[in-house]
């Protein structure tokens, strides 16, 4: 069965602005602002001390023995401070934090205030009714960038916009502690001005209601407003810590309210915010366009607080891509590969991978350490291919989605010099291409060069095809195609260097160094690779190249990989560099 707390979250998410919140003094209690009863006991204690009577019994028992009646908040406040102005000054000390209290984090907005403010900032809550004099709710709203209409007096109510036209309204039924017209005494709390009663009648009639931290014991006029409300348009939810007071129980029965057992206002509203946001996130339409997915990616990347949403967004895109590219849609048996059928299959892969690759182009440019795990999981999942019988070309092309993802991330990372991220990416453990090899990594397995049936190792220009695909997605990042091509070729050079390092340092005879597209423009890339040697020479162990562990853990290992790549390029017959 769905419990009331879950039902409330669903109702708030499905009807933004439909539910108003009513807050009692218990909500501010966690901030260190005393409740009416605590103020009562404090005043009794001060009175007893001033009379020189200390010790046992407890303050309330002493008062009853001394004066023959139980102490009451409104009676004591009225006796200690005869005028409204005096009462205002009396209460300031209970509401405003001292310097010591500020340092201790007291009398500032609590988790409950901030959760309500967060819901208000997204339009889920538009009306807050409170019996509290403090300004914690207004402060929390301001921190969320919400400027509410604060109604604390008859004049403010008369001049207020209709609730439907106000993005957020805070109605302070007992006033504001900085206004001398605050309501404290029993007489003041038993009857409200006509303007306030009329506004409460509208709120309780037209909105659902979420109550928390209010005992209903002392506020006669507020009880009457709830009792005279004729309609039940929306459900009333009442959060309680323990058994409701007699007055609250009567209102709960009268309103047919749902009670929600909670440990306190912070736990209740914090959980409510999380549940509403979770339902909202799940209810968002699936990104139907690449533009929508990329827009979400740009929104989640800058702030670490969005790391879970970022991981979920990437994970969902990877799952969708995997579902579309692994299975019967791309068989490895049947049709014999030809130039035309290879190109046709690549285009079908591109269509299925389009959203993920577009996201990765942005993700690689702005990648931080905290984003690496999500991308590595994506590369690993897309690299998982069943080792079964069929045409070798089709089996090799089954890794094209993973290669597309790796290249999109890698080219972006090279463009923005995020070499440590790229190093982590290339070292991502993936399923080896050979059944004999025990382990491998993305750098060794996902170069964009594939075997063609019956012709041996060929450069089929798969990388040229992929470069054109990426250029379409990188249009907002690179000023022109030449810049994109340069970053693409440098990424492939680093990929080849990574394979050179693996070939020279790992006992794996199946390491192949792919002849990247960089070999076709020897002059430019000879200068770039010579620049890498200079970086190693100048920076030593602190060189970004060494720290990235792209193709070696020490300067010596990096130089060895460069030497081996020189030997490889000589064997390819393209060029030598030094």
Query: What does the H/E/C string look like for 264-333?
Result: CHHHHHHHHHHHHHHHHHHHCCCCCCHHHHHHHHHHHCCCHHHHHHHHHHHHHHHHHHHHHHCCCCCCCC
The confidence score (pLDDT) of residue 178 equals 73
The confidence score (pLDDT) of residue 67 equals 86
Could you tell me how far CA 232 lies from the centroid of its own chain? 36
Provide the angle, in degrees to the nearest 10, between the axes of the packed helices 372-383 and 307-325: 10
Candidates 139, 146, 109; CA nearest to 124 is 146
Q: Counting every residue, how long is the chain?
A: 578
The confidence score (pLDDT) of residue 288 equals 46
Angle at 26 between CA 20 and CA 27, to 5 degrees: 50
Find all residues with CB under 8 Å of 511, minimum gap 6, and list them: 444, 499, 502, 503
CA R_g for the chain = 34
The confidence score (pLDDT) of residue 180 equals 60
CATH number of 4-31+110-283: 3.40.50.1220
Candidates 519, 505, 516; CA nearest to 549 is 505
Consecutive 10-residue averages of pLDDT for the chain (578 residues): 86 92 89 80 85 80 86 77 77 80 85 95 95 92 93 90 90 81 70 93 94 89 90 88 90 93 92 88 61 86 86 92 84 76 85 92 91 95 76 82 95 94 94 71 77 39 83 83 87 90 72 75 78 89 92 92 83 46
**Measured distance CA(147)–CA(166) in Å, rounded:** 10
Locate CATH 3.40.50.1220 in the chain.
Answer: 4-31+110-283
> Which structure tokens are listed for 72?
């009451």
**Measured distance CA(76)–CA(335) in Å, rounded:** 92
**Measured distance CA(69)–CA(75) in Å, rounded:** 11
Candidates 474, 452, 477; CA nearest to 408 is 474
3-state SS assignment for residue 237? strand
**Measured distance CA(214)–CA(196) in Å, rounded:** 19
**Measured distance CA(544)–CA(414) in Å, rounded:** 12
The confidence score (pLDDT) of residue 505 equals 76
**Measured distance CA(225)–CA(173) in Å, rounded:** 11
> Which structure tokens are listed for 269?
């509203």
Find all residues with CB under 8 Å of 61, minimum gap 6, and list them: none
**Measured distance CA(149)–CA(267) in Å, rounded:** 27
The confidence score (pLDDT) of residue 186 equals 65
The confidence score (pLDDT) of residue 576 equals 36
Element of type H or E holding 347: helix 339-365
Candidates 344, 349, 376, 348; CA nearest to 360 is 376
3-state SS assignment for residue 122? coil
The confidence score (pLDDT) of residue 436 equals 60
Could you tell me how far CA 190 lies from the centroid of its own chain? 45
Backbone CA torsion sign across 91, 94, 98, 102: negative
**Measured distance CA(445)–CA(399) in Å, rounded:** 9
Q: Are 566 and 578 in contact (CB under 8 A)?
A: yes
Cis peptide before 500 (omega within 30 of 0): no
**Measured distance CA(60)–CA(58) in Å, rounded:** 6
**Measured distance CA(541)–CA(28) in Å, rounded:** 56
Alpha helices (runs of H) in 384-460, residue ranges in sequence order:
392-397, 400-415, 419-426, 442-445
State the DSSP code for 216. S
């Amino acid at each position: 069965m769905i419990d009331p707390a879950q039902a409330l979250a669903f109702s708030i998410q499905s009807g933004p602005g439909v539910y108003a919140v009513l807050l009692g003094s218990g909500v501010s209690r966690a901030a260190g602002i005393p409740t009416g009863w605590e103020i009562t006991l404090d005043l009794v204690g001060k009175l007893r001390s001033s009379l020189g009577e200390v010790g046992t019994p407890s303050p309330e028992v002493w008062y009853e023995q001394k004066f023959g009646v139980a102490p009451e908040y409104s009676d004591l406040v009225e006796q200690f401070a005869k005028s409204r102005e005096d009462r205002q000054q009396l209460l300031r000390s209970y509401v405003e934090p001292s310097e010591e209290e500020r340092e201790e984090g007291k009398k500032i907005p609590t988790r409950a205030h901030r959760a309500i403010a967060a819901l208000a900032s997204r339009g889920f809550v538009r009306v807050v009714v409170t019996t509290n004099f403090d300004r914690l709710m207004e402060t929390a709203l301001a921190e969320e960038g919400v400027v509410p209409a604060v109604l604390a007096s008859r004049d403010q109510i008369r001049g207020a916009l209709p609730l439907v036209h106000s993005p957020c309204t805070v109605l302070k039924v007992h006033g504001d502690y900085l206004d001398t017209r605050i309501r404290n005494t029993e007489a003041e709390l038993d009857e409200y001005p006509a303007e306030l009663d009329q506004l409460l009648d509208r709120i309780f009639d037209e909105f659902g209601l979420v109550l928390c931290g209010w005992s209903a014991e002392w506020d006669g006029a507020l009880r009457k407003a709830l009792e005279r409300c004729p309609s039940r348009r929306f459900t009333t939810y009442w959060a309680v810590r323990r058994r409701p007071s007699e007055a609250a129980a009567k209102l709960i029965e009268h309103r047919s309210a749902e009670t929600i057992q909670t440990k306190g206002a912070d736990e209740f509203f914090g959980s409510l915010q999380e549940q509403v946001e979770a339902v909202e996130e799940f209810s968002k339409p699936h990104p139907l366009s690449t533009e929508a997915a990329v827009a979400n990616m740009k929104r989640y990347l800058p702030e670490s607080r969005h790391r879970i949403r970022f991981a979920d967004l990437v994970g969902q895109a990877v799952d969708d891509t995997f579902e579309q590219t692994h299975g019967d849609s791309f068989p490895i048996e049947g049709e014999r590969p030809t130039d035309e059928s290879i190109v046709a299959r690549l285009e079908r892969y591109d269509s299925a991978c389009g959203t993920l690759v577009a996201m990765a182009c942005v993700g690689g440019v702005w990648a931080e350490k905290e984003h690496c795990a999500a991308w590595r999981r994506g590369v690993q999942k897309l690299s998982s291919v069943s080792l079964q019988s069929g045409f070798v070309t089709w089996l090799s092309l089954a890794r094209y989605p993973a290669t597309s993802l790796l290249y999109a991330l890698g080219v972006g990372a090279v463009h923005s010099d995020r070499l440590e991220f790229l190093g982590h990416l290339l070292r991502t453990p993936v399923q080896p291409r050979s059944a004999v090899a025990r382990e491998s990594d993305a750098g060794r397995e996902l170069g964009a060069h594939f075997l063609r049936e019956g012709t041996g190792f060929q450069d089929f220009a798969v990388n040229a095809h992929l470069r054109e695909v990426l250029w379409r997605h990188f249009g907002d990042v690179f000023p022109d195609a030449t810049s994109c091509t340069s970053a693409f070729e440098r990424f492939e050079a680093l990929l080849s260097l990574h394979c050179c390092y693996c070939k020279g340092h790992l006992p794996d005879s199946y390491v192949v160094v792919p002849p990247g597209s960089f070999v076709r423009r020897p002059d430019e890339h000879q200068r770039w690779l010579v620049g890498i040697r200079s970086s190693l020479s100048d920076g030593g162990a602190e060189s970004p190249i060494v720290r990235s562990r792209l193709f070696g853990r020490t300067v010596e290992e990096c130089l060895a990989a460069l030497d081996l790549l020189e030997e490889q390029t000589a064997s390819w017959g393209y060029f030598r560099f030094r």
